[in-house]
Amino acid sequence: MELETPRLILRCPTEGDIERIFTICQDADIAAFTTVPHPYRRESATEFVSGVIPAGWSTGSALAWGIYLKDAPQLLGVVSLSNAQDGAAELGYWIDPLVRGQGVMTEAAARVVAFGFAAYPDGLGLSRIGWEAISINGPSARVAQKVGFRWEGHRRGAVVRLGTIYDLTFAGVLCTDGRSMPTPWPGAIE
């Protein structure tokens, strides 16, 4: 299921992307803020592309798109809708540190959210998309806020990542919510 935005193509990653995924996933923020394996080995990328992604698409439980600029074949990152069930799914993403801060993930995530809410066969017909992140992850929260997510709460000391305990922040967007203007979020990203 290929998706398009003004600058980007979103499509299923292939074996040709394994080396890029391996390289990008060495990033310290991806290790700290996502659940990708750590340390991230070449076999982790191979298993992701050859096992995890096709299994997710075939069962419909986790849909992952690679992110590519229209005029360059290199994978920049991954955006996904996972835990899809009962009309709800969870948004997740990571991107190459070299292209951060250029609005790429906001553009990709907005397209995936629109696809999630679009009625079948143009989309998944979801009623809710959720997001959660370690509470100090300002860039991730900012992307979620910009694509329409509403702040829903914190859970203190709710996750351990690489030996450190963190608070989690939760947000969500419903198919009936407007998505053009960021809603106010409490905390550092205001």
Residue 143 binds to ligand COA (criterion: CB under 6 A): yes
The answer to whether the CB of 80 falls within 8 A of the CB of 65 is: yes
Binding track, positions 15-54, relative to ligand COA; x by CB under 6 A: --------------xx--xx--------------------
- End-to-end CA separation in angstroms for the chain: 35
Convert 54-90 into a string of H (helix), E (strand) and C (coil): HHHHHHCCCEEEEEEECCCCCEEEEEEEEEEECCEEE
Alpha helices (H) along the chain = 18-24, 28-33, 42-47, 53-59, 104-117, 138-146
Nearer CB in complex with ligand COA: 44/137: 137
Residue 128 binds to ligand COA (criterion: CB under 6 A): no
Interface residue with ligand COA, options 16, 43, 102, 186 (CB under 6 A): 102
Please state the closest distance from residue 120 (CB atom) to ligand COA, in A. 27
What is the Cα–Cα distance from 87 to 81, expressed in whole angstroms? 12
Please state the closest distance from residue 18 (CB atom) to ligand COA, in A. 18
Please state the closest distance from residue 12 (CB atom) to ligand COA, in A. 19
Residue 106 binds to ligand COA (criterion: CB under 6 A): yes
Please state the closest distance from residue 14 (CB atom) to ligand COA, in A. 21
Name which of 8, 34, 45, 10 is nearest 116 in CA terms.
Answer: 10
What is the Cα–Cα distance from 47 to 43, expressed in whole angstroms? 6
Interface residue with ligand COA, options 44, 80, 135, 140 (CB under 6 A): 140
What is the Cα–Cα distance from 16 to 20, expressed in whole angstroms? 8
Binding site for ligand COA (CB under 6 A): 29-30, 33-34, 93-95, 100-106, 133, 137-140, 142-143, 189
